[in-house]
């Protein structure tokens, strides 16, 4: 396999811990170059599913296939050349600089004794520019805001140059402007390199605007995988989120727009 857009498939995939089932068995597939948003309430299993897709944890049953290869049979180094994962567990306590953090994305392509090549430095500089962090390259991570740190980690996974990009709540800690900038950047990056993109969201409208397909989970159960228009219906969302809602169209891009009823005193 080479670092190109990858197909992802899960077959009878489930995960349990301490006899508690976090993800119920599910089977689905995603074509190369598609952009999938994983949505669902807290505890739906979104983060767990992303870790399974990345090969970080082993399933209780079933398997994950990357380009028809069982992901756990692929070496960790080669897997890191194929799949990049941005998690929510971001540690800001390191004294490393932003540049050094982003440079970690090039490790899968280096031997332990190698220094960064010119192409590596170019990729790092480009990622810092696109994530609006060029002027923070030499800053300590401890000096960054939560949003800046999130963007630095996004730059790290972008320079990894994988065919599959997995993002767990990528807009967490970001203001509205940077939420849309980040999602537009990842979409542009995905289209330019024909990447397969999978990201989890709490914001249904953001997911609808930037993803081709949505996967809806509820308490670890697979509910639906289809276009945003097919998944984001009032009947389905009211059942899953236990809240009345209205679904109409976003006047800017025509994507489904969800408005939940407020809690009245």
Give residue-wise pLDDT tens across range 138-147: 999 989 888 8
In the chain, what are the domain boundaries? 8-91+162-260
Question: What's the confidence (pLDDT) of residue 130?
Answer: 87
Q: Is the pLDDT of residue 265 over 60?
A: yes
Judge whether 143 and 101 are in contact, CB under 8 Å. Answer: no
Residue 209 banded pLDDT, cuts 50, 70, 90: very high
Question: What's the confidence (pLDDT) of residue 2?
Answer: 42
Q: 188-191 long-range CB contacts below 8 Å, 24 or more apart?
A: 189/130, 189/158, 189/165, 190/33, 190/35, 190/165
Give residue-wise pLDDT tens across range 58-93: 999 999 999 999 999 999 989 999 999 998 766 555
Give residue-wise pLDDT tens across range 160-201: 999 999 999 998 878 899 899 889 989 988 888 889 999 999
How high is the mean pLDDT of the chain? Answer: 91
Q: Is the pLDDT of residue 113 over 80?
A: no
Mean pLDDT computed over 17-42: 95
Where does residue 254 fall: left (phi above 0), alpha (psi -120 to 50 degrees), or beta otherwise? left
Q: Which residue has the higher pLDDT, 112 or 171?
A: 171
Question: What's the confidence (pLDDT) of residue 174?
Answer: 86
Q: Is the pLDDT of residue 1 over 50?
A: no
Give residue-wise pLDDT tens across range 221-239: 999 999 999 999 999 999 9
Q: CA 82 to CA 40: how far, in whole Å?
A: 26
Domain spanning 8-91+162-260: which CATH class is it, in words? alpha beta
Question: What's the confidence (pLDDT) of residue 145?
Answer: 86
What is the reported pTM? 0.91
């Amino acid at each position: 396999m080479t670092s190109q857009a990858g197909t992802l498939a899960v077959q009878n995939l489930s995960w349990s811990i301490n006899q508690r089932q976090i993800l119920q068995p599910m089977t689905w597939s995603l074509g190369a170059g598609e952009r999938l948003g994983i949505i669902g309430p807290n505890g739906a299993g979104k983060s767990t599913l992303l870790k399974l897709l990345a090969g970080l944890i082993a399933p209780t049953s079933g398997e994950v296939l990357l380009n028809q290869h069982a992901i756990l049979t692929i070496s960790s180094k080669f897997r890191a050349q194929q799949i990049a994962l941005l998690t929510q567990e971001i540690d800001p306590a390191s004294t490393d600089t932003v540049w050094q953090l982003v440079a970690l994305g090039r490790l899968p392509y280096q031997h332990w004794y190698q220094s960064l090549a010119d192409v590596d430095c170019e990729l790092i500089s480009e990622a810092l520019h696109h994530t609006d962090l060029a002027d923070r390259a030499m800053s300590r991570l401890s000096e960054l805001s939560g949003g800046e740190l999130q963007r630095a980690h996004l730059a790290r996974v972008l320079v990894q140059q994988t065919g599959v990009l997995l993002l767990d709540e990528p807009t967490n800690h970001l203001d509205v402007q940077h939420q849309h900038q980040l999602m537009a950047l990842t979409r542009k990056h995905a289209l330019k390199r024909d990447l397969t993109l999978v990201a989890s969201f709490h914001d249904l409208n953001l997911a609808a605007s930037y993803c081709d397909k949505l996967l809806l989970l509820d308490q670890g159960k697979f509910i639906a995988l289809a276009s945003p228009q097919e998944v984001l219906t009032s009947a389905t969302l009211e059942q899953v989120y236990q809240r009345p809602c209205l679904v109409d169209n976003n006047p800017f891009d025509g994507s489904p727009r969800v408005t939940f009823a407020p809690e009245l005193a």
